[in-house]
Amino acid sequence: MITKLNVASIMVLNKDEALDFYVNKLGLEKGQDVKQGSYRWLTVRVPGDVTEISLEEPGPPVHDEATAAQLRELITKGALGATPSATPSGSSSRGRSPRRQGPDGPAAFGLSHAFG
C-alpha cells in the first residue's frame, strides 16, 4: 500500500520559465536543482512541504526528438498537464470554475487549468 508521495512529475515546455511561474506566480518554492550531464533535475514544492513536483521538459536524454515533438504539441494544447486541486491560501475556490488559458498561459507550465 502506498502511504506517502515524495515526487510527482509535470511536463513543461521550458524548465526556467516553469520555475518562474510556479515560484513567482503560484508561490511555490524551489526544491532541488541538480545538473547531471545534459539532464537537469528541477523540482518545486509547497513551502514547508516535503512532496516535490519535478518539472520535466521533453527531449534528450529521456526522449528521442520525435517523441519530444509529440509531447510538446500535447503540452501546448493543454492535453498533457496536471489539473491543480489545491486552494490558494486565504481563499475559497468554491463556486468558481477554472479558467481556460491559451498556450502561453498555464498549459505551457504543465497546468491544464488556471485558478479562476
Output the pLDDT for position 79: 86
**Could you tell me the pLDDT band of residue 43, with boundaries at 50, 70 and 90?**
very high
Q: Which residues contact 58 (CB under 8 A, 6 or more apart)?
A: 11, 67, 68, 69, 71, 72, 75
**Rounded CA separation 67/59 (Å):** 8
Burial class (CB in 10 A: 0-12, 13-18, 19+), 115: middle
Output the pLDDT for position 11: 93
The answer, yes or no, to whether the previous bond of 61 is cis (omega within 30 of 0) is yes
CATH class label, 7-109 = alpha beta
**Rounded CA separation 36/41 (Å):** 8
**Could you tell me the pLDDT band of residue 92, with boundaries at 50, 70 and 90?**
very low
* Residue 89 reports pLDDT greater than 70: no
Return mean pLDDT, the chain: 80
pTM attached to this predicted model: 0.70
Residue 68 three-state SS: helix
